[in-house]
Chain A
Amino acid sequence: MLNIIIPEENLINLSDVVSADKMLFELDENIEQTPIQGKVFTVNLGNVYYTAAHINTLKTLLEEHGASINLIVATSVNTQLAAIEAGLTVSEKIPEKTLQTKAENTYETLNNQETEEIQEPTQLKITVDIDQEEASQKQEDQDPQPFETQDIDTEKMLEEFLENEINKEEAEKQNETIEIKPVSKKSYSDNTLYIKQTLRSGRTINYDGNVFIIGDCHPGSEIIASGDINVWGILSGIAHAGSKGDTTASIRALKINAIQLRIANMLSRRPDKLLIEKANKTNNFTPEEAKIENDKIQIFSYNY
């Protein structure tokens, strides 16, 4: 049995575990030996790939014993993404607090620069190259598609708002903002989730920061970000930018064909009459940007 729970440091070190199944087994055995009631742990997952299901199981297991997770440390990007999907905070390194106790014992000099770097564990940039080959394949597929231009109004408004819903959402959001301190743009400006993948129906991305997606977002997918949303492709799902109340957030895509656009506490939906279920995959997109202007969400063609 590995000794993986270090209660003094509030750390669960799983970096020596080699597979996901082993992880749960070891953890289960350790929990029996070490009381963890009421503790908040940093979990170091090392370089092993865990799915969101694994991480959820881990979470549930700890919760059953009265403990919780405040940070996941993982070096595998897929694991990091899975942890984000499971709604946990992620870092690449063990934060300074836990590290320092170690550092004092082992390393004599830990120069200032390094500590500064470690002090920001949550500021994380993730690159996901899941199907790079497939993506490039798709690019090739798209190119020879028949060349068709679609007339885009330069200022196309996505119909009237659902007044009731907006008011309710607004009320809800206002309550939220009282509890959470108002978000300034600076807090997330350099925090971006980068995904190179097609988002299919049922996929949700919920991120505190900006979201950048290389690929299409199919209907039924949902992107929620406290910052901006950028889609290098056709945006057909639901996009919610500035989810924590930032009205200056915007949504950009090569083509906006979204069922609903939400910015901060505003909502607009695709007009019923507009039958653009299927956006043509041409190679002459005019990028579009949706933002709040005159208290409405409006779409502008994006050119400098």
Chain B
Amino acid sequence: MAGRVIVVTSGKGGVGKTTSTANIGTALAKNGAKVALIDTDIGLRNLDILMGLENRIVYTLIDVIEERCKLNQALVKDKKNPNLVLLAAAQTRDKSAISAEQMADICAKLKEDFDFVLVDSPAGIEQGFQNAIAGAEAAIVVTTPEMSAIRDADRIIGLLEAKEEIKSYKLVLNRVRPNMIKTNDMLSVEDVIDILSIKLLGIIPEDENIIVSTNKGEPIVNMENAKAGIAYNNVAKRIMGEDIPFMSMEAPPKLMDKIKSFFFATANS
């Protein structure tokens, strides 16, 4: 079985790389795929906390590379889904502890056993980022509709384009607020795509439940009726080849608008 290695990256910090990795990974596994998640943010690992697997980690990526354990010993199974595993980063080391070649090697090994290998990249464009993209053949660029995040995403897309092995890269637009787009306070989805000229993979609405899910260590796709969860699930389905229409980013009409439209309607008739 030859799976796909997908790196989740953004350039800027705090836009939701790790959240996206955890949720897309969990959603892929829920839809029946075998998924491995790799945290490459050595020294500042978070993916294990989001997945709620912190207390199960014995061996890390570094232990595998330095041959203190076998690869499958370091894979931590998810609490709910046995098809989902996590390879955690070491907390007590830094990015220079591994090289791009070693990372590519591990991705190649995992690819044999899993349908999808999702690599969570650290922020920045230094060694950590280079390691993260080393074994990848596709990339998900995460950004928020803010100029700073978009500028950084543009830089990242440039770096991804320069790397031959990465054949496709798509955008996940995170933390979108329909209300603010409507009042022209936020860049719309179309604006962002115009600026970045990149294909869209998903739109994730801003959702307070994300905070709850992070603190609980339970990905939001496992919560019922959470907007962001549904959006991430759609992203996963699109990755698996299904044709799912994008979520409507129109805000539900407010009461005043309803009354207004009622009056206009009666006036026109």
Q: Residues of A at under 8 Å CB distance from B?
A: 162, 164-165, 168-169, 201-204, 219-220, 222, 259-260, 267, 269-270, 272, 277
Contacts of B92 in A (CB 8 A): 202-204, 222
- Give the distance to chain B from A263, nearest Cβ to Cβ, in Å: 14
Residue on B nearest A260 in the bound complex, by CB: B55
Number of inter-chain CB pairs below 8 Å: 32
| CA A20 to CA B100, docked complex, whole Å | 32
- Write 25 A-B pairs (CB below 8 A) sorted by A numbering: A162-B56, A162-B58, A164-B73, A165-B58, A168-B69, A168-B73, A169-B58, A201-B91, A202-B43, A202-B91, A202-B92, A203-B92, A219-B54, A222-B91, A222-B92, A259-B55, A260-B55, A260-B58, A267-B58, A269-B55, A269-B56, A270-B55, A272-B52, A272-B55, A277-B215
Total B residues in contact with A, Cβ cutoff 8 Å? 14
Nearest 10 Cβ contacts at the A-B interface: A269-B55, A204-B92, A270-B55, A220-B91, A259-B55, A165-B58, A202-B91, A202-B92, A222-B92, A259-B54
Counting CB contacts under 8 A, is B182 at the interface?
no
| CA A203 to CA B94, docked complex, whole Å | 11
Counting CB contacts under 8 A, is B79 at the interface?
yes
| CA A270 to CA B73, docked complex, whole Å | 20
Contacts of A220 in B (CB 8 A): 91
| CA A169 to CA B68, docked complex, whole Å | 11
Contact residues of B: prevailing secondary structure = loop
- Give the distance to chain A from B228, nearest Cβ to Cβ, in Å: 22
Of the candidates B54, B73, B91, which one forms a contact with A165 in the assembled complex, judged by CB atoms under 8 Å apart?
A: B73
Contacts of A219 in B (CB 8 A): 54
- Give the distance to chain A from B192, nearest Cβ to Cβ, in Å: 34
Binary interface profile of B, 23-62, with partner A (CB < 8 Å = 1, else 0)? 0000000000000000000010000000010111110000
Contacts of B217 in A (CB 8 A): 272
Residue on A nearest B69 in the bound complex, by CB: A168
- Give the distance to chain A from B53, nearest Cβ to Cβ, in Å: 9
Contacts of A259 in B (CB 8 A): 54-55
| CA A168 to CA B92, docked complex, whole Å | 22
Residue on A nearest B218 in the bound complex, by CB: A272
Contacts of B58 in A (CB 8 A): 162, 165, 169, 260, 267
| CA A259 to CA B58, docked complex, whole Å | 11
| CA A169 to CA B79, docked complex, whole Å | 22
Contacts of A202 in B (CB 8 A): 43, 91-92
Contacts of A201 in B (CB 8 A): 91
- Give the distance to chain B from A251, nearest Cβ to Cβ, in Å: 16
| CA A75 to CA B13, docked complex, whole Å | 43
| CA A270 to CA B91, docked complex, whole Å | 18
| CA A259 to CA B56, docked complex, whole Å | 8
- Give the distance to chain B from A226, nearest Cβ to Cβ, in Å: 18
Most buried by A among B57, B69, B91: B91
- Give the distance to chain B from A274, nearest Cβ to Cβ, in Å: 10
- Give the distance to chain A from B180, nearest Cβ to Cβ, in Å: 32
- Give the distance to chain A from B84, nearest Cβ to Cβ, in Å: 16
- Give the distance to chain B from A236, nearest Cβ to Cβ, in Å: 11
Known contacts A202-B91, A260-B55; 4 additional CB pairs below 8 A are A162-B56, A165-B58, A168-B73, A204-B92
Please determine whether B91 and A272 come into contact, CB atoms closer than 8 angstroms.
Answer: no
| CA A238 to CA B43, docked complex, whole Å | 15
| CA A220 to CA B58, docked complex, whole Å | 12
- Give the distance to chain A from B77, nearest Cβ to Cβ, in Å: 10
Most buried by B among A164, A168, A260, A272: A272
